Amino acid sequence: VAAMNAAKSKWSTTQEPTAYEDVISYNNFYEFGTGKGDPAQHAHALTTDPWSVEIGGLVNNPGNYALEDILKDMTLEERIYRFRCVEAWAMVVPWVGFQLSDLIAKADPQGNAKYVAFETLMRPEEMHGQKNGSFPWPYVEGLRMDEAMHPLTLMATGLYDEPLPNQNGAPLRLVVPWKYGFKSIKSIVKITLTETEPPATWNLINAREYGFYSNVNPNVSHPRWSQASHRVIGSGLFASKEPTEMFNGYGDAVAGLYDGMDLSKNF
Amino acid sequence: MSFSQTANSAARKVPAWPLYPILLLPGLWLFWSVLQSPGPNPVETLEHGLGEYALKLLVLGLLVTPLRDLVGVNLIKYRRAIGLMAFFYVCAHLLVYLVLDNQFWWDALVKDITKRPYIIVGVLAFVILIPLAITSNNRAIRKLGPKRWRLIHYGAYLAVILGAAHFVMLKRTWQTEPLVYLAIALVLVAYRVPKLIR
């Protein structure tokens, strides 16, 4: 596979990235099954070319854009980010992508746009997990406008300097490193700017467990997993867990977005 | 000779004790393979694998009676080994949780046991099984008398349902595999209800 030759970024962590093999074989992507190994096994069925993204809502340049036309105008960077799953495991992933803020700027948002809504592809014949009717397909997620415009917020198209494997959300996924992994919606086909808070899939399924914000927060107890610490993927059977940091360690860059908010209520 | 007669005469000849080392093998194999190729999350692999073996053996133990009633195959002499090995896997599962997963982090442990419903249900199943394991010997049957002994061992019905519920609850969505376990557990216990009422 051709290297993407993405430029280095000041936003990258110096931590050692998780092994490529682990990054592409341990995934949550319920469109391909609920087991961690299911996406790697089944995601090859997904056609990612051609791919287009419908950008709409409160923007002055709405349209259905071919992915290659979007990428033409974007600067790809390598961003090595910590990735923290709500299930209390974590990785370090060398993503390749562009800032979501650049895409939103091109769409030219209108003044009353306050949120960004995202939607995953709905194609049950290729994403067999979508045949499970108990899940509210398609997967949707959302960010507040200032979160979406933050320089850390990435639209990833690759990892380890190669195009994204399907199981990691090819060809275009969101990465928001200070939020739990499920906010980082995969295989995006629709981006809509809205005035009101958009729905988010896990929040729809179980609002008590998954809030809209879903910021990594060791102080807000989750009814299912302690969020005080996490297991590092690939660290072996006898490794110690690591303490989880507020905002996954990105507090210096993003804490200001939540000034004056009670994060135990807006979790 | 019918199938059940063949099976029963075979069962008369085959002792129960080899079942202990045989039923230990899948656990040893799992531990060995996780050491050999840990993969992304070996603690999870081991913890979940041991838990599933425990559940499988609990279900197997509850199959002995209906198998005798409905098919005429009597494997009752193997039931103690199945039950005790189920308890062994429950203990191993708990030990992995405590040592490798929780890492003796008492503060988090207390929160888990008091706040997380699926953990509470799992611990409850373990606690219920303790007196069953302790009394799984001939001496205890003699001392307690068959009536009281049987009463204690009705706990297996509750434990298998709680064990399956623990599996269902730890998943983020309703998933087929744990629900199948729960359905089997409920059917096996429901099968006993008419007898218990009588």
* pLDDT tens-digit map of B74-120: 999 999 999 999 999 999 999 999 999 999 888 888 988 999 999 99
Q: How many angstroms separate the CA atoms of A206 and B172, rounded?
A: 9
Q: What percent of chain B has pLDDT over 90?
A: 87
CA distance readout (Å), A42 to A33, A35, B157, B164: 8, 11, 38, 27
- Tell me what the pLDDT averaged over chain B comes to: 95
Nearest by CB: B103 against A36, A234, A241 = A241
Residue A243 neighbours by CB under 8 Å, 6+ apart? A218, A228, A229
Give the count of Cβ contacts less than 8 A between chain A and B: 59
Nearest by CB: B41 against A205, A224, A231 = A231
pLDDT exceeds cutoff 70 at B6: yes
Alpha helices by DSSP H, listed for A46-167, are 67-72, 100-107, 145-149
Look at the alpha carbons of B92, B94, B96, B99 in this order and tell me if their dihedral is positive or negative.
Answer: negative
> Taking a contact as any Cβ pair under 8 Å apart, which residues of chain A between 86 and 125 contact chain B?
89
Nearest by CB: B116 against A30, A34, A224 = A224
Q: How many angstroms separate the CA atoms of B193 and B58, rounded?
A: 18
pTM tops 0.90: yes
pLDDT exceeds cutoff 80 at B1: no
Query: DSSP of B62-74, one letter per residue?
Result: HHHHHIIIII---
Per-residue pLDDT at A2: 62
Reported as a single tens digit per residue, the pLDDT across A67-93 is: 999 999 999 999 999 999 999 999 999
CB proximity A237 to B under 8 Å? yes
Reported as a single tens digit per residue, the pLDDT across B155-179 is: 999 999 999 999 999 999 999 999 9
pLDDT exceeds cutoff 80 at B184: yes
What the block records as the tokens of B124 is 């409850």
Backbone torsion region of residue A209, taken as left when φ is above 0, otherwise alpha when ψ lies between -120 and 50, otherwise beta: alpha
Alpha helices by DSSP H, listed for A12-157, are 20-23, 38-42, 67-72, 100-107, 145-149
Per-residue pLDDT at B150: 94
Per-residue pLDDT at A133: 85
Interface with B, mutate which of A128, A226, A232, A233 (most B CBs under 10 A): A226
- Please state the rounded mean pLDDT for residues A175-188: 98
- Please state the rounded mean pLDDT for residues A239-255: 97
- Please state the rounded mean pLDDT for residues A25-51: 97
Per-residue pLDDT at A61: 97
